[in-house]
Amino acid sequence: MKTQINVCINGLERTDEVEPRLLLIHYLREVIGLKGPHIGCETSICGACTVALNGKTVKSCALLAVQADGQDIVTVEGLATNGQLHPVQEAFWNEHGLQCGFCTPGMLMTTRELIERNPEPTDEEIRHGLEGNLCRCTGYQHIVNAVKSAAAKVGG
Amino acid sequence: METTVTKKTERLIGKPIRRREDPRLITGTATYVEDIELPGMHYAAVVRSPHPAADIKGIDTGAAEQHPGVVAVYTGKDIDHLGAVPCGISLPDLRIPHHHLLAQDRVYYVGHPVAVVVANDRYIAADAVDLVEVEYEPTDSVSEPEEALEAGAPAVHAEWPDNVAFTHHQEGGDIEKAFAEADVIVKERIVSQRLAPSAMEPRGTVASWNSGDESLTVYSSTQIPHILRTLMAGVLGLPEHKLRVIAPEVGGGFGSKCELYPEEALTAFIAMKIGKPVKWVLTRRDEFLATIHGRGHIDYYELAAKKDGTMLGLKVKIIQDVGSFHMLLTPAMPTLSVLMLPGLYRFKNVHADVVGVFTHRMATDLYRGAGRPEATHGIERMVEVLAAELGMDPVELRTKNFVPPSDFPYDTPMGVSYDSGNYAAILEKAVQTVGYSQLREEQQEARRQGRLMGIGIATYGEICAFGPSPALPTGGWESATVKIEPSGQVTVMTGVSPHGQGSQTTFSQIAADELGVDIDDIVVTHGDTSTVQHGVGTFGSRNTAVGGTALVLAIRELKEKIETYGAMLLESDDVSYAAGVCTCNKTGKTVTLGEIAMTSWTGPTYPANTQPGLVATNYWEPPNFAFPFGAHIVVSEVDRDTGEVAIQRYLAVDDCGKVINPLLVDGQVHGGVAQGLGQALYEQVVYDDTGQLVTGEYMDYALPKAAMVPTIETDRTETPSPVNPLGVKGVGEAGTIAASPAVVNSVVDALSHLGVRHIDMPLTPEKIWKLVQQGGSA
């Protein structure tokens, strides 16, 4: 009934037996105990569940855990290294890029990929780049500022 | 804005301090309801009605109960001894249908909870929902409130065949005289459509029963933990002091989590029944179905004026779509609208009739602004309609009619007293900043080129900082406890329950300034009824104005005690406390707050007639609301080929009184504007004519995405409120209230030369394109 998967999550190798229908988000949250990625819509629209799978952002509510077998996963908990916040985290904090914080883990993961792909994004490119992540609190403006600030820091 | 990372004991009020909440939120270590794990956790899932109106002929739970992993299935008969979902409002002719936690023999809206399944696994609970067989006999339903008021419409509740849930009448001045003296009367039907508040964190509850001491702990995604405890204890028949409610990290609410929802009480009931902790969290689809909606107004306006633009009086009929049941404050939504009908204008004659209407839909209730956006949208649209009728500039018309600064405090015809303001000044500031006269020239040029450019103005006044207790069934005061620990570190417990506003930061700023201590020595806690003194909660832009004031007053009381201890330690009767140090004014000798605190808790001796410990609690009852105000200006352009609206500029000039943290104020304005703009352009809860919810996912409900929201320019004036010692007013709802009329006014202005006077929201491309094609004649 259960299937074995081998994954690397935030740098740690894991082997687990999972039900084939278990969603990746539930695997991360309830089997691994990583509560950073959130469930906002279960339909891959809101992006609160965004994680990186082999370096590319995915909506973990729209993938099965078995689809992650053999792959490398990074969640918001894996962004900071050696107690140092990732520049994207620092930028969201400095620019007030969050209010209730529920969308934030997904926003951070998307931002990390966005500025990797486009180190000097324009406002318009940022806004289009964030289309897979909904925020109801901020009106996005401080998020856009945070992405710009993070890009400047990472690029500079 | 350049943010400040401060560790110094400098004055912090007014500084853009980055938030103290954020480290946990940006590292994934915050704990929302769904993150709570307890040993032996079970999962509840709700069976909901697929029909807007039907008799329940039978429920077969057998297959679900036998499904491996399912622990129990409960239906209406299992909970009929429990209390009803409460409505806290009283009006003379209010009709309150008994709102059971689960449907009894009938369902009244799509999404109505019919049964609840409990299993040891969330997937099994979801599976078992499909195994519950409910036999329905559908009956005729009515979805639109105006149809529900027609004779012969299906009765939502059989005992009230007219579908009238309540009525309300309020008037001031002499409306007949005003209309008799008018040179011009403009009329319009204005709809404020149903909206989904749509906090990103869906509602959820975890409940845990301790059979040994018969106590219940409930974690809920709520804005009102203390009120929820009182209400839930009543519904469950549980002694209130045996119930602990915790609002952990809460992922937004916007009013929608200011309720006792059936599922919250059901989760608690199940935990008590099975003796195991139970978790229930809404899916987004169920969030759209079964979390309250906002707005839902159909309003008929008549505005009377003289030829010179002097506004004389306003008649309004408000039809409020209630849904099938009242929630906690539903009937107060349109009555709140009534209080703000005159806007910022000084005419004294107002006549308002409200009718609340039952429909076969989910209930409406508080959503950001809660009654005030509807009123502001109405008056700010009517001013534009009047300006068009008179051929007057809308800035000039507004300025001519504003309450002048010399008239404050200003008693309105609706019986409230505006605290302070300078309305002409803030509009002038906005007009200057945006370059209004140049924009009008650009508009002329655009029209010559065949482009559809519009300039939209909205001014608003907001009743907030709720509020004096007579205005609220919950009490309108707020509480704070300040405790200086033996180490000298400071713990603040506030009765408000912030869920994204950043009050841990603003309250830390206030406490740091009042006490003169390092902000890093302050921790602000909230949201736990076992550890925090009784409080009211977070809604109606009240945290800082009411909760912040309680904090200031508690600290001021505590400072007297600090000086009493300082006097003992310094052996002087002439001491003063400032910046963390108590000083003898004669000798200059000092003792630190830490030394005073340690002495206060550990002795060995205490000042005469003084209790040990440095702790003070204040419950502050505000003498009035506060009334923020502002002027927003929008420049938009309509694509005549597609009907799409492009917002080219958005300027928000707001006055929320004294600003504690400008970074957070800007954040509130941005977020508020995005929600008001969402209403203006994109969002609408749609039920089809069979009563089915069409907009049940983010695929269908157009929540604004980043590329759909413009850059918002912000500016401020700062008129302190005389209502509280901080001088603050409130800013949580301002942007939402101003944005919808500002955006709609800009689009109507873009089409005004085609004869367009009004367009109802949302301004979809289809609607606009049709108007352009018809040459404007709507």
Q: Please identify which residue in the block is written with the tokens 């469930």.
A: A39
Number of domains in chain B: 3
User: Across the interface, do B284 and A43 touch by the CB < 8 Å criterion?
Assistant: yes
Assess whether B127 and B272 both reside in one domain. yes
**Average pLDDT value for residue range A22-30:** 98
**Average pLDDT value for residue range B587-602:** 97
Q: Please identify which residue in the block is written with the tokens 């409002």.
A: B89
Phi-psi region of B544 (alpha: psi -120 to 50; beta: other; left: phi over 0): alpha
Q: Which of B271, B290, B309 is the last residue of a domain?
A: B290
pLDDT for position A156: 62
Among A92, A99, A123, select the one facing B671 at the smallest CB separation: A99
Is residue B267 included in any domain, yes or no? yes
Assess whether B572 and B668 both reside in one domain. no
The minimum CA-CA distance between B545 and chain A, rounded to whole Å, is 19
Type and span of the H or E element at B385:
helix B372-390
The yes-or-no verdict on residue B2 having pLDDT over 70 is no
Instruction: Number of A to B CB contacts under 8 A, please give it.
Output: 178
Chain A neighbors of B661, CB-CB under 8 A: none
Q: Domain span at residue B62?
A: 33-139+202-250+257-290
User: Across the interface, do B667 and A102 touch by the CB < 8 Å criterion?
Assistant: no
**Average pLDDT value for residue range B566-588:** 97
User: Across the interface, do A137 and B673 touch by the CB < 8 Å criterion?
Assistant: no
User: Hey, is the C-beta of A105 within 8 angstroms of any chain B C-beta?
Assistant: yes
Cα–Cα distance measured from residue B113 to residue B264, given in angstroms and rounded to the nearest whole number? 12
Q: Please identify which residue in the block is written with the tokens 């700010």.
A: B380
**Average pLDDT value for residue range B367-380:** 97
Assess whether B615 and B630 both reside in one domain. no
What pLDDT digit, counting tens, does each position of B261-314 carry? 999 999 999 999 999 999 999 999 999 999 999 999 999 999 999 999 999 999
pLDDT for position B4: 45
Mutate to test the interface with A, among B4, B25, B506, B654 (most CBs of A within 10 A): B25
Among B122, B202, B500, select the one facing A137 at the smallest CB separation: B500
The yes-or-no verdict on residue A147 having pLDDT over 90 is yes
The minimum CA-CA distance between A14 and chain B, rounded to whole Å, is 20
pLDDT band at B476 (very low <50, low <70, confident <90, very high): very high
Is residue B518 included in any domain, yes or no? yes
**Average pLDDT value for residue range B589-615:** 97
Burial of B57: CB neighbours in 10 Å, binned 0-12, 13-18, 19+: exposed
The yes-or-no verdict on residue B1 having pLDDT over 70 is no
Instruction: Name the closest residue on chain B to residue A100, using Cα atoms.
Output: B500
Chain B neighbors of A126, CB-CB under 8 A: 706
Assess whether B613 and B632 both reside in one domain. no
Is residue B145 included in any domain, yes or no? no
B 421-460 residues with CB < 8 A to A: none
The minimum CA-CA distance between A6 and chain B, rounded to whole Å, is 22
A 120-139 residues with CB < 8 A to B: 123-124, 126-128, 130-131, 133-139
Strands (DSSP E) contained in chain A are 3-9, 12-18, 50-53, 56-59, 72-74
Q: Which of B453, B304, B399 is nearest to B754 (CA)?
A: B453
Assess whether B554 and B601 both reside in one domain. yes
Q: Which of B558, B591, B620 is the last residue of a domain?
A: B620
B 13-52 residues with CB < 8 A to A: 18-19, 21-32, 34-35
Q: Mean pLDDT score of chain B, rounded to an integer?
A: 97
3-class SS of residue B5: coil
User: Hey, is the C-beta of A96 within 8 angstroms of any chain B C-beta?
Assistant: yes
Q: What spatial distance separates the first Cα and last Cα of chain A, rounded to whole Å?
A: 51
pLDDT > 90 in chain B, percent: 97
What pLDDT digit, counting tens, does each position of B620-666 carry? 999 999 999 999 999 999 999 999 999 999 999 999 999 999 999 99
User: Hey, is the C-beta of B666 within 8 angstroms of any chain A C-beta?
Assistant: yes
What pLDDT digit, counting tens, does each position of A60-111 carry? 999 999 999 999 999 999 999 999 999 999 999 999 999 999 999 999 999 9
B 527-556 residues with CB < 8 A to A: none
Chain A neighbors of B711, CB-CB under 8 A: 123, 141, 144
Cα–Cα distance measured from residue B296 to residue B369, given in angstroms and rounded to the nearest whole number? 13
For residue B418, how far is the Cα from the chain centroid?
A: 20
AA identity, residue B169: H
Q: Which of B565, B596, B620 is the last residue of a domain?
A: B620
User: Across the interface, do B664 and A76 touch by the CB < 8 Å criterion?
Assistant: no
Assess whether B628 and B493 both reside in one domain. no
User: Across the interface, do B703 and A40 touch by the CB < 8 Å criterion?
Assistant: no
**Average pLDDT value for residue range B407-426:** 97
pLDDT for position B467: 82
Is residue B131 included in any domain, yes or no? yes
**Average pLDDT value for residue range B178-194:** 98
User: Across the interface, do A134 and B711 touch by the CB < 8 Å criterion?
Assistant: no
Residues 6+ apart with CB under 8 A from B349: B172, B173, B174, B175, B177, B178, B304, B312, B313, B314, B413
Q: What are chain A's domains?
A: 3-76 (3.10.20.30), 87-155 (1.10.150.120)
Burial of B5: CB neighbours in 10 Å, binned 0-12, 13-18, 19+: exposed
pLDDT band at B6 (very low <50, low <70, confident <90, very high): very low
Q: At what angle do helices B765-773 and B734-751 cross, to 10 degrees?
A: 20
Strand-pair category, B215-220 with B243-246? parallel
Cα–Cα distance measured from residue B292 to residue B184, given in angstroms and rounded to the nearest whole number? 40
3-class SS of residue A21: coil
User: Hey, is the C-beta of A37 within 8 angstroms of any chain B C-beta?
Assistant: yes
Assess whether B210 and B328 both reside in one domain. no
Among B18, B122, B703, select the one facing A136 at the smallest CB separation: B703
ipTM of the complex: 0.99
Instruction: Name the closest residue on chain B to residue A33, using Cα atoms.
Output: B35
Is residue B88 included in any domain, yes or no? yes
Assess whether B529 and B449 both reside in one domain. no
Assess whether B322 and B429 both reside in one domain. yes
Cα–Cα distance measured from residue B404 to residue B420, given in angstroms and rounded to the nearest whole number? 10
Mutate to test the interface with B, among A19, A49, A102, A131 (most CBs of B within 10 A): A102
Q: Please identify which residue in the block is written with the tokens 């736990």.
A: B528
Question: What is the CATH classification number for the domain harbouring B213?
Answer: 3.90.1170.50
What pLDDT digit, counting tens, does each position of B8-30 carry? 457 999 999 999 999 999 999 99
User: Hey, is the C-beta of A94 within 8 angstroms of any chain B C-beta?
Assistant: yes
* CA angle centred on B433, ends B429 and B439, rounded to 5°: 120
What pLDDT digit, counting tens, does each position of B46-69 carry? 999 999 999 999 999 999 999 999
AA identity, residue B38: L
Assess whether B126 and B208 both reside in one domain. yes
Among B18, B250, B672, select the one facing A96 at the smallest CB separation: B18
Is residue B16 included in any domain, yes or no? no
Question: Model's pTM, two decimal places?
Answer: 0.97
**Average pLDDT value for residue range A30-47:** 97
Cα–Cα distance measured from residue B527 to residue B507, given in angstroms and rounded to the nearest whole number? 15
Question: What is the CATH classification number for the domain harbouring B445?
Answer: 3.30.365.10
* CA angle centred on B738, ends B628 and B338, rounded to 5°: 70
User: Across the interface, do A100 and B500 touch by the CB < 8 Å criterion?
Assistant: yes
**Average pLDDT value for residue range B365-380:** 97
pLDDT band at B5 (very low <50, low <70, confident <90, very high): very low
Cα–Cα distance measured from residue B475 to residue B458, given in angstroms and rounded to the nearest whole number? 32
User: Hey, is the C-beta of A81 within 8 angstroms of any chain B C-beta?
Assistant: no
The minimum CA-CA distance between A154 and chain B, rounded to whole Å, is 18
Is residue B99 included in any domain, yes or no? yes
Question: What's the maximum distance between 2 C-alpha atoms anywhere in chain B?
Answer: 88
Instruction: Name the closest residue on chain B to residue A109, using Cα atoms.
Output: B26
Cα–Cα distance measured from residue A1 to residue B258, given in angstroms and rounded to the nearest whole number? 43
pLDDT band at B775 (very low <50, low <70, confident <90, very high): confident
User: Across the interface, do A42 and B284 touch by the CB < 8 Å criterion?
Assistant: yes
pLDDT > 70 in chain B, percent: 98
